[in-house]
Every structure is written in structure tokens, then in C-alpha cells.
Amino acid sequence: MQIILLSGGSGTRLWPLSNDARSKQFLRLLPVEGSDKLESMVQRVVRQIREADLKASVTVATSVTQQDSILAQLGTEVSVVTEPLRRDTFPAICLASEYLSKEKGCEENEIIVVMPCDPYTESGYFRTIAEMAKTVSKNVAELVLMGIRPTYPSSKYGYIIPGQPLGKNALAVRRFTEKPDAASAEKFIEEGAFWNGGVFAFRLRYLTAIAEKYVNYPTFKEMREHYGDFPKISFDYEVAEKAKSVAVVPFDGEWKDLGTWNILTDELAKWSYGNVTTDGTGENTHVINELDLPLMCIGTKNLVVAASPDGILVTEKSRSEEIKAFADKLKRRPMYEERRWGTYRVIDFVEYADGFSSLTKRLNLNPGCSISYQQHTYRDEVWTFIDGEGEIVLNGERRKVNRGMTVHIPKGMRHALRAITPLSFIEVQTGSNLVETDIIRYPFEWT
């Protein structure tokens, strides 16, 4: 079995902790049972897949901006397929399926399960996935969906209207309906409808045959180069609702979308995280502080207070679903990112009237990790090392760096950096176009 995890989202519903590069699934806030450690939603799901002993390889389909966060949190435990541009779930699943076929060499009869990377659920969910795979293997239907037993008439989810039983654990799908109003949802539930949880199972050849109607090239590289030729449409609309042979396997257990602060805070183990001081009289208030500055809350009730380099949020829990509409208007670059080599935080960013800009970051490299051999076209950089030891390469010449050293990197100079111990430094960029995409990478082998 191959599992494709879909990792997307713009990160605005859990602003300011989440952003375009660090969406909600990467926030390390969830308690690990029996431990004092915290994990993210995507780490939790991958751990649950392993614990369920599904004997499945995992591939994450994501955007380029999220690739480093996935590698930092999951390492080589998973494969990663990146979209060259953002489309929708149908092209993303097509691209991942073509990767499994053309790059990993999976057999056309291999069973594929596609699921979100961030459901908050329990072990029964993964037993249901195993049952979906079994339903496909028995040729009960070409496409099998998970139907989640609704707990209330929600208008946030699509609904699956079931038909006749197909064997012991599956039902035929009579029709789909997308996000109905509450009254219609209540009626559907009375008729035995399920929430559509976005989990699909099929044989690999089923999806590659559909994908190659739109984009058909002999190699995965060529498929990816022509990714924009896929229609920008959801998998539900393009595949599930058009399928001739489709079944649903019910799941009746705990399942939540931790997509808003009021729902996420229900699952947190503590009332406060980070540098937080309270008077102990607050009620139902969660405070998360990622800043070095102290955050104090006195007598607060029913609030979420969250602070990060991206901004500060104070909201009543009952109104936290309104955050997205306001956060979408804040067109700022991410001020904190988790990369495969460590993390960086923007300390200061100034744009002057004549177009000149300065950007100051604090970067932390993990031991043995490195920043690629690269050069910039529009910016100069100055690195001041504040702790640790490492090696730097400047136009092919290597030397050691440590605390107190300063290095000037003019535009056009090729440079790379490797941490020997945990390595921290301040980077000051100056120039006319201070964006993360101003980078040209070159091959380099550390020996």
C-alpha cells in the first residue's frame, strides 16, 4: 500500500503562528501521550500510520514553500512531491500518483490511499483505511471513500449519500452534495449520510489513466514540467462525482479538523506556552508566545492570545473563525520558517523610499546540517556568528567560522555553510529585491 498525504493550506486560520510556509499542520503544539514532548499534526498522523502497522510507504504531496518544513519534521521517513505551482487536489493527486508510477516504479495494481495530513483522529480511523484498501483489493469498487459519521449538522463539510450495501463493510455511493446549509445537512444525516473526510482509495492504474488524459509524458520530470496543463479543480469534482464504480466505508469515531483556534485549544495540554506570566485568575484562556519578549495576561476570560514574529492575536474563542478574513489582508512575508537545516526568524525589515531595503534575520543551524552552495543576484549579505562552530565556503575556498567572526558576502559570490556544532548567526541583507527566491544553487559536496 502507498499512502499519499496532502499537505497544503495558506495558514491564515491559525494566524499568527501559521503562515504560507508554516501552515497549521506544522505547529508543534499537540501533546504526545505518555510523554512531555509536543508534536505537530503531520508528525502525529505519520506516527499513527506507523503504529497502525499498515505496512505502507508514505509520500507527501505539497507546495515548494512547505517542502523544508516537511523534511525538518519527518526527515527521510517520507518521500516528498512538490507542485511547481499551486493548483488543487486533483492535479496534486495526479502528480503524486505519476511519481509513484514513474519514479518509484510501483506496480499498476498497487493500492493507493489519499488522505489529508492533519486530521485529529484515533486508531479506528487507520483500521478503516485498511478496510478501504481491502475493499479495493476485492474489486468491490474502483474508487472507495471514507465516510465519517457526522456528530452534528455542519455546513463546513461535503456529504456522501449512501446506497445499498456492497458486502460486509462498504456501501454504494448514491450521490454527493457539497457543503449544504444546516437544515439540509440535518436532513441528510437523518437519511444516513456521512461527512466526506477527503480519504480515497484506488489502484494506481485507475488514477494514472485519468491523469494521462490531460498530461501524458514518458517521464515524471516531463509530467511535472507540464503540471500547469492539469485543470485547477478538486479531486471530488473531477473524479469522485464522475466515478461509475464508487463505494464508501464508514468510520464512526473521533475525528476533528483542528483548523481554528477554538477547536485546536481544546486539545492542548497546557494553558500557556513560551514566555508567559498570568495571575492565575484567567478562565478558559490559552496563551502561546513564540517571542523573546514577555507576555502578561491578567484576569482574561475565553480568549486566545498568540504572539509570533508574524504578529500578535487577541481574540474571543467564539469568534476565532473570523480570523481568516482579516489575516488574508495582511500581505507580509513569513517572519519565521522551519527549514531542513534549522530555523530562521526575521528580526527587522525596512523598505526605504528609494527602493533600497534591509532585512535582518537570526538563523540557527543544526549540527551536521548545511545551507546549499548558492549566490544572490540582488542582495549583499553580512553574517555575524554569535555561537557555535562551522565551516563556510566562499567562491570555492573553505575556512572555519565561530563566535565573533563576521563575513561579508557581496552579490554574485557563491557561498555555503555547514554547522559542526549548533550554529547561530545574524544575517543582514541589503539590496533592492530581498525575497527568498533570489537564489541560484550550485552542486557542492562536503567531504
Grid cell 492533519 is found at: 118
Integer Cα distance of 302 and 323 in angstroms: 16
Inter-residue contact 392 to 364 (CB < 8 Å): no
pLDDT at 355 over 70: yes
Mean pLDDT of 371-378: 96
pLDDT at 348: 92
pLDDT at 119: 93
pLDDT at 396 over 90: yes
What number of other Cβ atoms are within 10 A of residue 67's Cβ?
18
Reduced to 3 states, what is the DSSP secondary structure of residue 328? coil
Integer Cα distance of 420 and 223 in angstroms: 39
pLDDT at 378 over 80: yes
Mean pLDDT of 85-92: 93
In this structure, what DSSP letter does residue 244 have? S
Spell out the domain ranges in the chain.
2-257, 270-318, 341-442
pLDDT digits (tens, 9 = 90+) for 275-333: 999 988 889 999 999 998 999 999 999 999 999 999 999 999 999 989 988 988 887 77
pLDDT digits (tens, 9 = 90+) for 136-181: 999 999 999 999 999 888 888 889 999 999 988 999 999 998 888 8
Helix axes 89-102, 204-211, angle to 10 degrees: 120
Q: Is the pTM of this model over 0.85?
A: yes
DSSP string, 16-53: TT--SSS-GGG---EEPTTSS-EE-HHHHHHHHHHHTT
Cβ-count burial of 437 within 10 angstroms (0-12 exposed, 13-18 middle, 19+ buried)? Answer: exposed
**To 10 degrees, the CA torsion angle through 224, 114, 120, 45?**
-70
The percent of residues above 90 in pLDDT, for the chain, comes to 79
pLDDT at 10 over 70: no
CATH 2.60.120.10 fits 341-442, yes or no: yes
pLDDT at 11: 67
Mean pLDDT of 230-246: 94
pLDDT digits (tens, 9 = 90+) for 61-81: 999 888 999 999 998 889 999
pLDDT at 76: 84
Looking at every residue in the chain, the average pLDDT score rounds to 93
pLDDT at 212: 94
Mean pLDDT of 227-251: 95
pLDDT digits (tens, 9 = 90+) for 262-274: 999 999 989 999 9
pLDDT at 41 over 70: yes
pLDDT at 12: 84
pLDDT at 33 over 90: no
The residues facing 97 across adjacent strands are: none
Name the residue among 270, 263, 115 with its Cα closest to residue 199.
115
Considering only the top CATH level, what class is 2-257? Answer: alpha beta
Name the residue among 131, 171, 152 with its Cα closest to residue 257.
152
> Hey, what's the cell of 247?
463505494
pLDDT at 19: 81
